[in-house]
Amino acid sequence: MSDQPDRHVNDFLHYLDKERGYSSHTVKAYKIDLTQFRCFLADYGADPFSSLLDVDRQAIKHFVGYLIEEGLSPRSSARKIASIKSFYRYMLKTDKIDSNPAAGMQAPKRDQPLPKFIQKKVLEKVLIPSATDDWQTGRDRTILELLYSTGIRLSELVALDLDDVELDQLTVRVFGKGGKVRIVPLGQTAAEAIKTYLKERAIHMREKRGKAPLFISKRGHRISPRTVQLRLKLLFESTSVVSGFTPHLMRHTFATHLLDGGADIRAVKELLGHASLSSTQIYTHLKTEKIKEIFNQAHPHA
């Protein structure tokens, strides 16, 4: 294949990075997917395409079949098809092509697993302060309270600065994916935990220049995502039966508990910062499973 497709792919990746604000990890995933697609096209049929812009719908269908034959999971296949569709949408948007060959293309069907969540009684046990807590453990429980109160992502949490939190107003300003800003309500319990933590933070803070991070490491600098992952995992392992804990589990827990409490799904969508309602609807499945369980236990003809 010629060098021309590389230029178009690079333009697309630059657009994702600079204009859409995608993470380097996400941009890299797009690059891997498009590279695999290009390699497939290089061997496609007797007359390989000289440019990605010449690709037709049939070639993309054959690529989907190729992924299935290679034993790729439906989830991974769906991601690769999504990457290709995004690329051609951008090519159409920038007038590089007259029609989108990937429009309406369906990825292999996949069963979407229900997200796990933490039971309230388990979470409450972990959140109870201990007399043996040092300032770092107190910080960890505060982080947990904030994650549970707001449902924000780990990347959003570590990026928080002091002036992003309005304790009097009980709100948090969150910078989400693509640089989108949203204001999230803060629970009173989380606000009180932050107030207590800030007294210790003032003692251990080291950074004096630039933004003032809300959560800091033991060295007094902005806490890293990896540190949060490890510290919260240890906190759960020491006080509960939850294994395989990740900070993202708190996001699932936040959404599930809200919907179980009767919250409107559209409101939960806004709180989570989801771009579309379909991303939030998976949590309604959890509620449906709970209703089925209650029905089976209580209904005489269940």
Does the residue 202 lie in any domain?
yes
Q: Are residues 62 and 127 in the same domain?
A: no
Within 13 Å, how many C-alpha atoms sit on residue 64's CB side? 20
pTM across the whole model: 0.58
Same domain, 167 and 268: yes
Pick from 93, 128, 161: which residue ends a domain?
93
SS3 state of residue 173: strand
Distances in Å between the Cα of 227 and the Cα atoms of 32, 117, 154, 194 are 28, 21, 11, 18
Model confidence at 105: pLDDT above 90: no
**Domains held by the chain: number:** 2
Compute the average pLDDT of residues 26-33. 93
User: What is the rounded average pLDDT of the residues 235-247?
Assistant: 79
| pLDDT band at residue 261 under the 50/70/90 scheme | confident
Q: Which of 21-25, 216-220, 266-270 has the lowest mean pLDDT?
A: 266-270
Active site residues: 153, 177, 248, 251, 274, 283
Q: Examine the domain organization and report whether 157 and 274 are in the same domain.
A: yes
Token pair 């969150």 is found at: 174
Instruction: Give the CATH number of the domain where residue 221 resides.
Output: 1.10.443.10
Give the rounded distance of the alpha carbon of 131 from its chain centre. 34
For residues 6-13, average pLDDT: 88
CB contact at 8 A, 225 and 126: no
The 10s digit of each residue's pLDDT in 40-95 is 887 765 455 667 888 888 888 888 877 876 777 778 888 899 999 999 999 999 99
- The residue among 24, 58, 93 that closes a domain is 93
**Inside any domain, residue 302:** no
